[in-house]
Structure 1
């Protein structure tokens, strides 16, 4: 069955901002403590899965009874993080768009692993964003059009996720680039700004991480 848009809530940093990412008709997935977040905000997860080692036994039962589907696994004998389990399940549903909330947090090993998941969605042709209170991340290897989100994300930064990204051309930005190359270890692409409502990013070769961000903290 085609699931047009799936929003995954993981156990990283979540706040009231995350509820605003939910649209009517979304399929909602709770990974571990992310399922409890959904339930406490009045949403029944369409799928709750993980090892549930970050919630109490009583909270696990609450999640089990409130979720439409529930999958639990052993916290020791597993190869994937809870977020990757949810991400893999979502890809298997024939999803067209994925949004990850709570995929970033204090554990930067988990956060960076979740950023790397963007490569899998790109290879599958699935639009995917990672969102938190101050950032929105996506990955591109071709052409991308950004829409300004003033008041929420004011800056646009570009970082290579492959060793080199070549042929980078920006249109509609304060600091333009033309056929530029970014290499891991450079900060040339940090803190650009869209001039109008839209801006385009073109890439000839490589994987470019696009981060829209703000200096302000949202609850």
Structure 2
């Protein structure tokens, strides 16, 4: 049976807000302490993965006993972060969508690396987003429709040196065949005024960040 959605919980900022993003038929992956978070909140990870250096031995035993599958990696002899290991596993299942929760936190290097994972999903033809309590982040290379979902702001930031041919419909500040250049803040804090908004671009990679304070 085709997998509709994979939701990954990883070890950044997590809280009760995160649980509302779980749907009944989601396949759940817990990366390192993200697996423990799921278990402590009554969910069974379909896969727990990582080096588990953020949990105690007793907690790891609990993760192993409850998760359907556990894959443990050496904390030194591995090429990828725990989050990327989980993300690669998710993409290998060829789902329609991957949602990454807990990917933003105090480690700014990890946060940026996790945002870059959206490129891998885009190249695989799989819809992906990063969600935390205040933000929802997507990458667009051609077109994207977003809907009103409780976020006050929509910001556009280039992930390539420039993004060309940007068109916005349904926004307070529409754009037509516009260009955004890396290093500018021109695309910050637009507002979606229609029930849904359309974003199209002709060239480049554009981060679309819906946010609230």
* Structure 2 length-normalised TM: 0.99
Residue in 1 that maps onto 2:81: 81
Per-residue CA shift, 1:57-100, capped at 9, x if unaligned? 10000100010000001001111000000000111111110000
Which residues of 2 match residues 90-169 of structure 1 at below 5 A? 90-150=90-150, 153-169=151-167
Rounded to whole Å, the distance in 2 between the matches of 1:2 and 1:10 is: 24
Are 1:71 and 2:68 an aligned pair?
A: no
Residue in 2 that maps onto 1:49: 49
Residue in 2 that maps onto 1:11: 11
Q: Which runs of 5+ in 1 are unaligned?
A: none
Q: Which runs of 5+ in 2 are unaligned?
A: none
Rounded to whole Å, the distance in 1 between the matches of 2:100 and 2:86 is: 10
CA RMSD of aligned residues (A): 0.7
Per-residue CA shift, 1:133-167, capped at 9, x if unaligned? 000000001111110113xx110000000111000
Per-residue CA shift, 1:172-198, capped at 9, x if unaligned? 111111111111101000000011211
Rounded to whole Å, the distance in 2 between the matches of 1:94 and 1:199 is: 27
Give 1:174's match in structure 2, choosing from 154, 172, 175: 172
1:2 Cα offset (Å): 3.0
Runs of 4+ in 1 over 2 A off after TM superposition: none
Rounded to whole Å, the distance in 1 between the matches of 2:92 and 2:172 is: 40
Partner-residue secondary structure (3-state), 1:158? strand
Rounded to whole Å, the distance in 2 between the matches of 1:149 and 1:93 is: 28
1:3 Cα offset (Å): 1.9
